[in-house]
Structure 1
């Protein structure tokens, strides 16, 4: 009987080579941008970046300490004879809303801790106030809005561009803003703490312009920046808040941003989801040489240097721009119940009678009777400003 031939099956195994990956140098320009496009920093969760945010945290702590020290010096309970808002806070209670609508200290307390004021800068040449006024706030409302804005903008900026560049822009904007404020200062107390915030906002705008092709959600980012700018600019019209420092800080930050924020720290391995918007960065790309603009950076550095030097010289020479611009004061002030926007020095006549002190404004004849006589000279100036408003 013949044997049935066995069926043999031959399977040939071939090793399929995976497609050779292209390096970034082999990608076209459009593919490079598509690979690297990321959302603007505001739309990325902070937890997805590993860098520390110690610079902004340090500035926030310093502002809180400065405000606490201001309220200790203010001592409304003692200096204002318990005529305070939120009396339950004792020494930390605030001046009456009729005197400070931002829930904060008195004008004399701000003068003591280093606020800007014409009589101290021009007559007494206390230029050290340029360095102290950026640390001061006019009240709780001003402090909260300023710190919340600084934290929101600053933390994202620090994680996007690093603590060194963020810290340099913050400090330069703070001092440039206070120096510009000195050129427009009037004989009323004002603080310049918002100048640094406006510097960060200006730097974020220049960073957005500089790296326009890298970012998605650009219109949303612009709307966020404009909202923060508008809110703080309106706050700058309130008593004791200097809006000229905001303008100076913004210009400083905008120019410094073109100099320092030449490339975001991209390519650090973001997950595809998790933030407000989805995004994806597939590989680190070294495009600094391709997208850097040395001419623009050099021009911005020259302009910033000239502006900064010019402001410093004008401050040292005692230039007062208000003499040449009568309407400029309305950039910093809107006449309201608590604020007359007048640049005239006010004086009051005092009269003591039967344990009562009567203050009468020499400018408009308004007067106020106080049921006590033991009052400091600084407090008399505060009440005089209020009566003459």
Structure 2
């Protein structure tokens, strides 16, 4: 909690920064490694289409939405990690597929890849110790945000 983890009681007591700081705190090297891997892979697909600024907006917004979902669904759980933001990027990829942002030849492979990542992450969350609320909150907000941000035109 000292490093910025998110838990409902502290967050609702006025420590709102925890909704964002928890995205940058991890529970160990494996946690950081897997989130870093997801960030790199998804950034390869999202950043060239949305650009740096909209990518950053998407990442932070999805992280915040994942954190909010976490304190709603798991009020007594301490939450750390970037997976809400990462799942937001996964959702953005889904949204970009729906918006035909990828070349036709790549669209099917991108869809298969991202659905595999999403299902794998959600299945891991069934075994405990993983915040599927943050995953789902990030995924939903990222999908919608990806579609909306794509509509704003060319990358910056």
1:116 aligns with 2:19: no
Deviation at 1:162, TM superposition (A): 1.4
2:49 corresponding residue in structure 1: 160
Q: 1:190 to 1:262 in 2, by over 3 A?
A: same
1:213 & 1:166 partners in 2: Cα distance? Answer: 16
2:58 corresponding residue in structure 1: 169
Q: 1:162 to 1:128 in 2, by over 3 A?
A: closer
1:211 & 1:263 partners in 2: Cα distance? Answer: 15
Say whether the 8 Å CA contact 1:180–1:244 is kept in structure 2.
Answer: yes
Higher helix residue share: 2
1:142 corresponding residue in structure 2: 31
Say whether the 8 Å CA contact 2:90–2:114 is kept in structure 1.
Answer: yes
Q: 1:154 to 1:171 in 2, by over 3 A?
A: same
What TM-score, normalized by structure 1, do the two folds share?
A: 0.36
Q: Could you say which structure has the larger radius of gyration?
A: 1
SS at match of 1:217: helix
1:189 corresponding residue in structure 2: 78
2:142 & 2:38 partners in 1: Cα distance? Answer: 15
1:260 & 1:220 partners in 2: Cα distance? Answer: 22
**Alignment deviations for residues 65-95 of structure 1 (CA, whole Å, 9 cap, x no partner):** xxxxxxxxxxxxxxxxxxxxxxxxxxxxxxx
**Alignment deviations for residues 102-144 of structure 1 (CA, whole Å, 9 cap, x no partner):** xxxxxxxxx221222344345x443332121111222222211
2:141 maps to which of 235, 252, 273: 252
RMSD of Structure 2 on Structure 1 (CA): 2.5
1:233 & 1:173 partners in 2: Cα distance? Answer: 16
2:69 corresponding residue in structure 1: 180
Q: 1:252 to 1:213 in 2, by over 3 A?
A: closer
SS at match of 1:112: coil
What TM-score, normalized by structure 2, do the two folds share?
A: 0.84
Q: 1:187 to 1:213 in 2, by over 3 A?
A: closer
2:19 & 2:67 partners in 1: Cα distance? Answer: 6
Written as runs of structure 1 = structure 2, the 5 A alignment for 1:29-178 is 111-121=1-11, 124-178=13-67
1:73 corresponding residue in structure 2: none
Which structure would you say has the larger RCO, counting Cα contacts within 8 Å and 6 or more residues apart?
Answer: 2
1:121 & 1:263 partners in 2: Cα distance? Answer: 33
**Uncovered stretches (5+) of structure 1, i.e. residues with no partner:** 1-110, 266-389
2:114 corresponding residue in structure 1: 225
Deviation at 1:239, TM superposition (A): 4.9
Q: 1:174 to 1:188 in 2, by over 3 A?
A: closer
Higher strand residue share: 1
Q: 1:167 to 1:128 in 2, by over 3 A?
A: closer
SS at match of 1:190: coil
1:196 & 1:230 partners in 2: Cα distance? Answer: 16
SS at match of 1:144: helix
SS at match of 1:127: coil
Say whether the 8 Å CA contact 1:184–1:244 is kept in structure 2.
Answer: yes
Say whether the 8 Å CA contact 2:58–2:146 is kept in structure 1.
Answer: yes
